[in-house]
């Protein structure tokens, strides 16, 4: 099973791209657990909520992975939750940091901030998109995670992402001969 995480700042098309890629490759994608969780919260979120979201995201990924064919796309990862936690509360729980070190994605697609901001009640930082993008990039580099930057408008993003996923599939195929 090859796994691809779509990561990056708010309002960069992660959900849209995850769904498009899953449809193109005939597989499933893991939605962002936080959307439903925060949407049903009815109060400001806490650090404990971010931890609950992290556990929920991990469980949802395990569940959806059972339905996947050879390839799984994830509309978020623990890096998103780490950065959210550190920015909102000044730190990230140790267990999340440890789990982040052991994420096993074959590829991460880091979504660029060149799409227009789309307001949403759950989005918080339209003015900090480049700040967050740079933070994601530094963290991916520090973790030594294979990643590529995805940019352009919607169709361009899809085409660029498909090129990188196709390359991943080709490399995997060649390695398993």
Q: For 70-110, what is each residue's pLDDT tens digit?
A: 999 999 999 999 999 999 999 999 999 999 999 999 999 99
pLDDT at position 174: 60
SS3 (DSSP) at 13: coil
The whole-number average pLDDT for the span 119-140 is 88
Token output for 137: 């990039």
**pTM (whole model) above 0.85:** yes
Q: Tally Cβ neighbours within 10 Å of residue 43.
A: 7
Token output for 136: 């994601």
Beta-sheet strands, E only, within the chain: 2-7, 28-30, 71-74, 107-111, 147-150
pLDDT at position 175: 57
The matching CATH number, chosen from 3.40.190.170, 3.40.50.300, 2.60.120.310, 3.40.50.10490, for 2-175 is 3.40.50.300
pLDDT at position 125: 81
pLDDT at position 176: 58
- Alpha-carbon distances of 122 from 30, 102, 111, rounded to whole Å: 19, 28, 18
Cα 99 from Cα 94, distance rounded (Å): 9
Give Cα 45 distance to the centre of its chain: 20
């Amino acid at each position: 099973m090859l796994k691809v995480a779509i990561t990056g700042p708010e309002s960069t098309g992660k959900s849209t791209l995850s769904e498009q890629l899953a449809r193109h490759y005939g597989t499933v994608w893991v939605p962002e657990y936080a959307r439903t969780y925060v949407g049903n919260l009815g109060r400001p979120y806490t650090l404990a909520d971010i931890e609950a979201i992290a556990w929920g995201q991990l469980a949802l990924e395990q569940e959806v992975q059972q339905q996947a064919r050879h390839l799984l796309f994830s509309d978020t990862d623990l890096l998103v939750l780490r950065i959210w936690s550190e920015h909102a509360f000044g730190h990230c729980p140790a267990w999340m940091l440890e789990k982040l070190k052991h994420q096993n994605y074959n590829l991460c697609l880091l979504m660029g901030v060149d799409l227009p901001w789309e307001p949403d009640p759950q989005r918080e930082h339209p003015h900090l998109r480049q700040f967050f993008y740079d933070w994601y990039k530094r963290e991916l580099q520090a973790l030594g995670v294979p990643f590529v930057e995805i940019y352009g408008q919607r169709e361009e993003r899809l085409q660029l992402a498909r090129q990188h996923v196709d390359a991943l599939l080709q490399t995997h195929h060649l390695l398993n001969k």
